């Protein structure tokens, strides 16, 4: 634990909230959860994606995801594993085109969890939807149930997996919102990669924390959720579509 | 004469017995550093520890617990002659040598990484 110096305090003042003269509330940085403590229902992690900043030709988030999660393909786009898809949409009436990164929407009421016959498809206390591949039997009901086409199936034997993302043949898998990075106090790989390109179209934050930048922006600005009519309550919100 | 032949035969049996024992016992590469638990306990119960731990980690998000397959691999994967880590489930390596002796297949590594993301801690060269 480092001590907060006067200099740090002044540097942090930009992102701080002044409650009263001389009393300042500094917005807490994302911190690693203490070892041994479980994910908490006090958090609800999510994303806000500004499609106005997202280029159709840019695949920085998709590439970063593949590297982070150790995803390899077989030049079979229809069945290769993907955690993020870039979907190019166009309004036929106006011609307005957008490129939309679509990943697991980490629903509040995930249909994939409802249909899973083994309990492998599950929602963590902090709202992150995961596949417990220890008990996944590869039936792919969840893939059919997901309205966002977010889940993939590993059709082939896998090698060279990353430490943080064990994955193997015969299991369904999807975006984990980089749970391993969030638990360590970092942001998801796609968010970092997008910020590194200078576009910063993806904002990560805690929807349950009213002081987070994400909460403040979704409270102040218009945002939409894909197929909100289904009532799944996604934690991923979009702007500009 | 008979006693001499008998002692010779017994000696031969002892020698061949030694040779066989040497052949079939697993040769287990040593890791650097201390294990998280007593080696006896780990030999007997490592699968139970890991199976319990995996549910806590994945389903509850509890990190940094005592037993972790990632930590096992980071200590037990050795560096090969080419400087790269040798998978722990490769022939003669830590996990595989004992499991092939015990005729127990390992399912962990159909999904889990067999080498650490970073360079292995253990400097020992093998293969």
The domain spans of chain A are 35-239
Q: Does residue B13 form part of some domain?
A: no
Q: Does residue B1 form part of some domain?
A: no
Chain B, nearest residue to A173 by Cα: B111
Q: Does domain A35-239 have CATH number 3.30.565.10?
A: no
Give the pair of three-digit tokens for residue A221: 């600005």
pLDDT grade, residue B110 (50/70/90)? very high
Give the pair of three-digit tokens for residue A121: 């498809």
Name which of B65, B70, B111 is nearest A133 (Cβ-Cβ): B111
Chain A, nearest residue to B118 by Cα: A163
| Co-location of B89 and B107 in the same domain | yes
Name which of B61, B111, B113 is nearest A38 (Cβ-Cβ): B61
Could you report the per-residue pLDDT of A105-147, keeping only the tens digit for each? 999 999 999 999 999 999 999 999 999 999 999 999 999 999 9
Q: State the ipTM, two decimals.
A: 0.81
Q: Does residue B2 form part of some domain?
A: no
3-state SS assignment for residue B46: helix
| Co-location of B72 and B109 in the same domain | no
Asked if the C-beta of B12 comes within 8 angstroms of chain A's C-beta atoms, the answer is no
The mean pLDDT of A204-221, rounded to a whole number, is: 97
**Which residues of chain A lie closer than 8 angstroms to B61, CB-CB?**
33, 38-39, 124-126, 128, 179, 183
| Co-location of B40 and B68 in the same domain | yes
Q: How far is B84 from chain A (nearest CA, A)?
A: 13
| Co-location of B64 and B91 in the same domain | no
Asked if the C-beta of B64 comes within 8 angstroms of chain A's C-beta atoms, the answer is yes
Count of domains observed in chain B: 2
b/e string for B35-54 if b means 16 or more Cβ within 10 A? ebeeeeeeeeebeebeeebb
| Co-location of B92 and B104 in the same domain | yes
Q: How far is B11 from chain A (nearest CA, A)?
A: 50
Torsion of CA B85, B91, B92, B96, to 10 degrees: 90
Asked if residue A188 has pLDDT above 90, the reply is yes
Q: What is the pLDDT of residue A31?
A: 77
Q: Compute the count of residue pairs across chains A and B with CB atoms less than 8 Å apart.
A: 60
Give the pair of three-digit tokens for residue B22: 């040497």
Q: Which residues contact B92 (CB under 8 A, 6 or more apart)?
A: B27, B29, B126, B127
**Structural domain harbouring B97:** 80-113
Asked if residue A25 has pLDDT above 50, the reply is no
Give the pair of three-digit tokens for residue A53: 């900043």
Asked if the C-beta of A119 comes within 8 angstroms of chain B's C-beta atoms, the answer is no
The mean pLDDT of B114-124, rounded to a whole number, is: 76
Asked if residue A77 has pLDDT above 70, the reply is yes
| Co-location of B67 and B97 in the same domain | no
Task: Mark yes or no for CB contact B117/A179 under 8 Å.
Answer: no
Asked if the C-beta of B66 comes within 8 angstroms of chain A's C-beta atoms, the answer is no
| Co-location of B89 and B70 in the same domain | no
Of residues A198 and A16, more confidence is placed in A198
């Amino acid at each position: 634990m480092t001590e907060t110096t006067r200099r740090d305090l002044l540097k942090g003042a930009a992102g701080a909230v002044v409650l009263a003269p001389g009393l300042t509330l500094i917005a807490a940085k994302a911190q690693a959860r203490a070892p041994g403590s479980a994910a908490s229902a006090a958090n609800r992690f999510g994303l806000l994606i500004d499609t106005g900043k997202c280029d159709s030709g840019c695949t920085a988030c998709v590439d970063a995801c593949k590297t982070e999660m150790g995803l390899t393909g077989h030049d079979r786009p229809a069945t290769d594993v993907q955690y993020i898809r870039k979907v190019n949409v166009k309004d036929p009436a106006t011609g307005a085109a957008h490129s939309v990164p679509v990943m697991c929407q980490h629903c509040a009421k995930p249909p994939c969890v409802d249909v899973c016959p083994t309990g492998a498809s599950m929602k963590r206390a902090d709202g992150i939807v995961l596949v417990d591949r220890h008990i996944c039997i590869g039936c792919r009901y969840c893939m059919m149930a997901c309205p966002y086409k977010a889940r993939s199936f590993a059709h082939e034997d896998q090698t060279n997996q990353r430490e943080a993302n064990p994955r193997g043949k015969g299991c369904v898998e999807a975006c984990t919102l980089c749970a391993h990075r969030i638990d360590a106090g970092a942001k998801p790989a796609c968010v970092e990669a997008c910020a590194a390109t200078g576009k910063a179209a993806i904002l990560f934050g805690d929807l349950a924390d009213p002081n987070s930048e994400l909460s403040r922006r979704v409270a102040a600005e218009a945002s939409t959720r894909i197929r909100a009519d289904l009532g799944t309550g996604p934690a991923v919100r979009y702007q500009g579509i | 004469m008979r006693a001499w032949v008998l002692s010779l035969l017994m000696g031969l049996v002892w020698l061949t017995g030694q040779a066989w024992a040497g052949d079939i016992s697993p040769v287990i590469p040593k890791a650097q550093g201390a294990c998280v638990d007593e080696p006896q306990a780990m030999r007997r119960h490592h699968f139970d520890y890991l199976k319990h731990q995996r549910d806590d980690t994945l389903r509850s998000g509890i990190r940094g617990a005592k037993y972790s397959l990632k930590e096992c691999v980071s200590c037990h994967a050795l560096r090969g002659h080419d400087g790269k880590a040798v998978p722990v489930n490769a022939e003669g390596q830590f996990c595989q040598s004992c499991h092939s002796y015990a005729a127990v297949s390992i399912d962990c590594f159909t999904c889990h990484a067999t080498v650490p993301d970073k360079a292995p801690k253990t400097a020992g060269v093998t293969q």
